[in-house]
A and B are shown apart, each in its own frame.
Chain A
Amino acid sequence: MPEFQIKKTAKNYDVCIVGSGAGGGMAAYVLANAGIKVVLLEAGPLYDPAKNVTQLKWPWESPRRGASTPYRNFGDFDAAYGGWELEGEPYTRKSGTRFDWFRSRMVGGRTNHWGRISLRFGPKDFKHKSIDGLGDDWPIGYDDVAPFYDKVDRLVGVFGSKENFDNEPNGIFLPPPKPRLHELFIKEAGASMNIPVIPSRLSILTKPVNKERGVCFYCSQCNRGCTVHADFSSSSVLVKPAIATGNVDIIPNAMAREVLTNDEGVATGISFVNKDDMQEYTVNAKVVMLAASACESARLLLNSKSSRNPNGLANASNVVGKYLHDSTGTDMGGILPKLIGRKRYNEDGVGGMHVYTPWWLDNKKLNFPRGYHIEYYGGMGMPGYGFGFGMQGTNGKYPGRDGKKKEAGGYGASLKDDYRYFYGASFGMSGRGEAIAREDNYCEIDPGTVDKYGIPVLRFHYKWSDYEIQQAKHMKETFAEIITKMGGVITYGNDGTPENEYGLAAPGRIIHEVGTTRMGNDPKKSAVNKFNQAHDCKNLFVVDGGPFVSQADKNPTWTILALSMRASEYIIDELKKQNL
Chain B
Amino acid sequence: MDRRKYLKTMAVSSVGAAALLQSCETKPKQEIKEAEGAALNYDRTAAEKIREEKLRSEKFFDDHEMKTITILSDIIIPKDDVSGSASEAGVPAFIEFMAKDQPRYQTPLRGGLKWLDIQTLKRFNSDFASCTSEQQIEIVDEIAFPEKAKPEFQQGVTFFNTMRDLTACGFFTSKMGIKDLGYVGNTPNQWDGVPADVLAQYGVQYDERTLAESVKFDS
Contacts and interface: CB of A to CB of B under 8 A. Distances in A.
A94 to B, nearest CB: 29
Contacts of B215: 159, 174-178, 206-207
A180 interface: yes
Chain B interface category by residue count:
35 or more
Interface of B: 34-38, 40-43, 45, 47-48, 51-52, 55, 75-78, 80, 82, 90, 94, 97-98, 101-102, 140, 144-148, 160-161, 164-165, 168-175, 177-178, 180-195, 197-198, 201-202, 204, 206, 210-211, 213-216
Nearest to A49: B43
A416 interface: yes
A218 interface: yes
A178 B214 contact: yes
Nearest to A159: B215
Contacts of B211: 178
A64 interface: yes
Given A61-B41, A345-B184, A350-B191, A386 B146 contact: no
Given A178-B206, A407-B148, A413 B41 contact: no
A344 interface: yes
Interface in A296-355: 338, 342-350
Interface of A: prevailing SS:
loop
B189 A217 contact: yes
20 contacts: A53-B42, A54-B43, A61-B34, A64-B37, A69-B51, A79-B43, A174-B215, A176-B213, A178-B192, A184-B204, A348-B191, A381-B185, A382-B185, A383-B177, A389-B165, A389-B168, A409-B146, A409-B164, A415-B77, A415-B164
Contacts of B42: 53-54, 57, 61-62, 77
A66 interface: yes
A346 B185 contact: yes
A387 interface: yes
Contacts of B213: 161, 175-176, 199
Interface of A: 45, 52-54, 56-67, 69-72, 77, 79, 81, 87, 159, 161, 174-181, 184-185, 188, 199, 206-207, 217-221, 338, 342-350, 380-392, 396, 407-413, 415-417, 419-420, 423
A67 B98 contact: yes
A479 B78 CA distance: 38
Contacts of A348: 185-186, 189, 191
A270 B45 CA distance: 27
Give the interface centre of B80, B102, B174, B191 by most chain A CB atoms within 10 Å: B191
